[in-house]
């Protein structure tokens, strides 16, 4: 059953990977889209593509989610009720241990994964609360359930997303606004290329010898979470590829 047709979703980080594929699955269901990311060209191409294939409206806004003022201007420019906020924009930078890691990488991850997600939630939750309807879906990670060496700050940000999701649900208790989290393991997207500053060889090695999750796998789960009846609130879903059993237990074919 399609409960989403005619609704409006804001998708952050819609220029690639999980965000892009989720946006496309929403579009297939007739959801009007407001898509964000920094790469303006990609947003323009996605808008043209989706509007040519789906009977929906697509708005785009290119801005850096770390910039609070830009988030505020973005939300001020939205003139329709937002039914779904998919807080997906995020990244990892580096795998250096705590005594060697780069301060700027830490700030980038905290400002994007935690503060950016909080800005969007703070700015869009009032209209949801006022209407007594809406759904905030945060993209967490298995790294938000289990910390691993080399991920001191990335894991820290995703543990923060878990805490923020739980507290947001409690803050909005009794309002009918839904709050959910989706927590994937290894998904092959641009994620590892970004983590390793464009080093394709290092990025490919992350997925070598396994059948990793795809953006499609996670988008299908996001769609399922969003499409539940209004009284059903999925709090979290943890998804691993079958070859992965924990953050660091990954079975690779020879
Ligand atoms: P991608 O690198 O493919 O996508 C990341 C998206 O985030 C891009 O659209 C990017 O857009 C956007 N983004 C990053 N920084 C900013 C910023 N400062 N301002 C605005 N947008 C930004 O990776 P994924 O699709 O894999 O990642 C999506 C989410 O999934 C992230 O939160 C990630 O932590 C999470 N995740 C990923 C997993 C994986 O293994 N891939 C596993 C678990 C969770 P642009 O560059 O245009 O700004
Ligand atoms: C991304 C999954 O294992 O690279 O959140 O941290 S992992």
Tell how strand 178-184 and strand 135-139 pair up.
parallel
Alpha carbon distance 200, 11 (integer Å)? 27
pTM for the full model?
A: 0.99
Q: Say whether 218 sits in a helix, a strand or coil.
A: helix
Ligand 1 pocket list (CB less than 6 A): 13-19, 37-39, 64-66, 88-91, 112, 139, 141, 184, 186-187, 189-191, 194, 215
* 161 Cα: distance to centroid of ligand 2 (angstroms): 14
Ligand whose nearest atom lies closest to the CA of 183: 1
The first and second tokens of residue 15, run together, are: 């220029």
Catalytic residues: 154, 158
pLDDT, tens digit, for every residue of 175-227? 999 999 999 999 999 999 999 999 999 999 999 999 999 999 999 999 999 99
Q: Which residue has the tokens 């060209």?
A: 41
| Residue 184 burial class via C-beta count within 10 angstroms: exposed 0-12, middle 13-18, buried 19 and up | buried
> What's the CATH number of domain 8-239, 3.40.630.30, 1.10.3720.10, 3.40.50.720, 3.40.1620.10?
3.40.50.720
pLDDT, tens digit, for every residue of 220-249? 999 999 999 999 999 999 999 999 999 999
Confirm or reject: Cβ of 179 under 6 Å from ligand 2: no
Q: Which atom of ligand 1 is nearest to the CA of 192?
A: 41
């Amino acid at each position: 059953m399609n409960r989403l047709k005619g609704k409006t979703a804001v998708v952050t980080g819609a220029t690639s990977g999980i965000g892009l594929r989720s946006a496309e699955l929403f579009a297939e269901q007739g959801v009007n889209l407001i898509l964000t990311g920094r790469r303006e060209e990609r947003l323009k191409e996605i808008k043209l593509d989706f509007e040519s294939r789906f009977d929906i409206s697509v708005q785009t806004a290119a801005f850096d989610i770390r910039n609070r003022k830009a988030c505020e201007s973005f939300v001020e420019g939205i003139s329709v009720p937002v039914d779904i906020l998919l807080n997906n924009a995020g990244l990892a930078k580096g795998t250096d241990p705590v005594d060697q890691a780069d301060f700027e990488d830490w700030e980038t991850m905290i400002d994007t994964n935690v503060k950016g997600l909080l800005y969007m939630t703070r700015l869009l939750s009032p209209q949801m609360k006022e209407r007594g309807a809406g759904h905030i879906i945060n993209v967490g990670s298995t790294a938000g359930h289990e910390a691993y060496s080399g991920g001191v700050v990335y894991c820290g940000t995703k543990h923060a997303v878990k805490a923020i999701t739980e507290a947001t649900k409690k803050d909005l208790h009794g309002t009918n606004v839904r709050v959910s989290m989706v927590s994937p393991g290894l998904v092959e997207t641009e994620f590892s290329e970004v983590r390793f500053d464009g080093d394709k060889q290092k990025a490919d090695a992350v997925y070598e010898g396994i059948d990793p999750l795809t953006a499609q796998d996670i988008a299908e789960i996001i769609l399922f979470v969003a499409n539940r009846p209004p009284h059903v609130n999925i709090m979290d879903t943890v998804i691993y590829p079958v070859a992965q059993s924990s953050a660091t237990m990954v079975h690779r074919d020879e």
